[in-house]
């Protein structure tokens, strides 16, 4: 499974996917920077351009971080630091980072938590998991819909839910959904070309944190369910 052992077609697929995914934010950073240098702009427009450059940079960093963590995991180089984490806060953080991406399609992001417990996770890895799942949900959801993130308790565990509002996934596509480079036949917008690694990385990172990812289909989309352990003190509180 290591990247070194992949056949060249797979390497090419990986590189092409990553390259394409990075092009939109890079084009925005480059183009908007050149516009700011070309001519004076009014303060409102200046702020809008700077925010778009900032968001595009953050999105690129998120993508790079995700790919690197996937690589470290493959190479057995990933060192996890499991610690108590407030689920609501990290969901809000990821939602805040990707909110401009959702706003482009007039989508809303809703974050809610039905409990105040903390979960046991590696902060960077959990961030990468939620970033990939939410990025994916934004791509697959229809315009003018609300994508929901929710933390809840299920069978003594924490469950973080990312619920998209799109065309859903065919039953026959479920198995390959988390496969490396697996990209299922959903009517994804063509611009939403992905590395095909996002869900695979999310699953591997979650399992590395002693958790699991389940999937629940519903009439108007799909929910990805990230199951993680509660942190020790609050597991006792919950019990």
Partner 1 sequence: MKHVLLVEDDLWLQDMYSRPVSELSGVTTHVASSASEALERLDSQDIDLIILDMFLQDHNGMELLHEIASYDDTRNIPVIVLSAVHKHDFAMSPKRWRQYNVIDHLYKPDVKPVDLSAIVTKHLVKSGAAA
Hunting for tokens 């944190």 — which residue is that?
A: 209
The reply on whether position 24 binds partner 1 by CB under 8 A is yes
Q: Looking at 19-27, 83-91, 151-159, 198-206, which segment touches partner 1 (CB under 8 A)?
A: 19-27
**Which of 52, 13, 47, 61 lies closest to 32, judged by CA?**
52
**Which of 101, 118, 136, 109 lies closest to 213, judged by CA?**
136
Radius of gyration of the chain (CA): 18
At a CB cut-off of 8 Å and minimum separation 6, what does 199 contact? 132, 133, 136, 177, 178, 182, 224
The reply on whether position 104 binds partner 1 by CB under 8 A is yes
Hunting for tokens 């389940």 — which residue is that?
A: 214
**Which of 16, 5, 69 lies closest to 183, judged by CA?**
16
Residue 49 or 71: which CB sits closer to partner 1?
49
The reply on whether position 116 binds partner 1 by CB under 8 A is no
Q: At its nearest, how many Å lie between partner 1 and the CB of residue 57? A: 13
Element (H, E) at 123: helix 123-140
Q: One symbol per residue from 162 to 201: x for binding partner 1 (CB under 8 A), - otherwise; what is it?
A: ---------------------------xxx-x--------
Pick the binder of partner 1 from 6, 26, 167, 208 (CB under 8 A).
Answer: 26
Site residues (CB under 8 A) for partner 1, limited to 28-87: 28, 30-32, 34-35, 38, 52
Return residues touching partner 1 (CB under 8 A).
20, 23-24, 26-28, 30-32, 34-35, 38, 52, 104-105, 189-191, 193
């Amino acid at each position: 499974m290591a990247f070194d052992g992949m056949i060249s077609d797979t390497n090419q697929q990986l590189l092409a996917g990553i390259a394409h995914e990075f092009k939109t934010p890079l084009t925005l950073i480059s183009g908007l920077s050149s516009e700011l240098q070309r001519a004076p702009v009014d303060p409102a427009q200046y702020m809008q351009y700077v925010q778009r450059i900032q968001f595009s940079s953050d999105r690129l960093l998120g993508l790079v971080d995700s790919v690197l963590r996937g690589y470290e995991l493959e190479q057995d180089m990933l060192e996890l630091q499991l610690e108590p984490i407030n689920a609501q806060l990290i969901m809000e953080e990821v939602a805040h980072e990707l909110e401009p991406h959702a706003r482009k399609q007039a989508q809303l992001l809703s974050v809610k938590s039905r409990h105040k417990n903390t979960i046991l996770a590696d902060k960077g890895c959990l961030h990468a998991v939620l970033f990939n799942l939410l990025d994916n949900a934004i791509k697959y959801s229809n315009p003018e819909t609300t994508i929901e993130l929710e933390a809840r308790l299920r069978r003594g565990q924490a469950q973080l839910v990312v619920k998209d509002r799109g065309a859903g996934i065919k039953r026959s596509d479920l198995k390959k959904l988390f496969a490396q480079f697996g990209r299922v036949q959903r009517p994804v917008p063509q611009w939403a070309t992905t590395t095909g690694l996002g869900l695979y990385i999310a699953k591997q990172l979650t399992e590395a944190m002693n958790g699991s990812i389940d999937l629940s289909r519903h009439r108007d989309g799909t929910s990805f369910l990230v199951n993680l352990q509660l942190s020790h003190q609050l597991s006792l509180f919950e019990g």
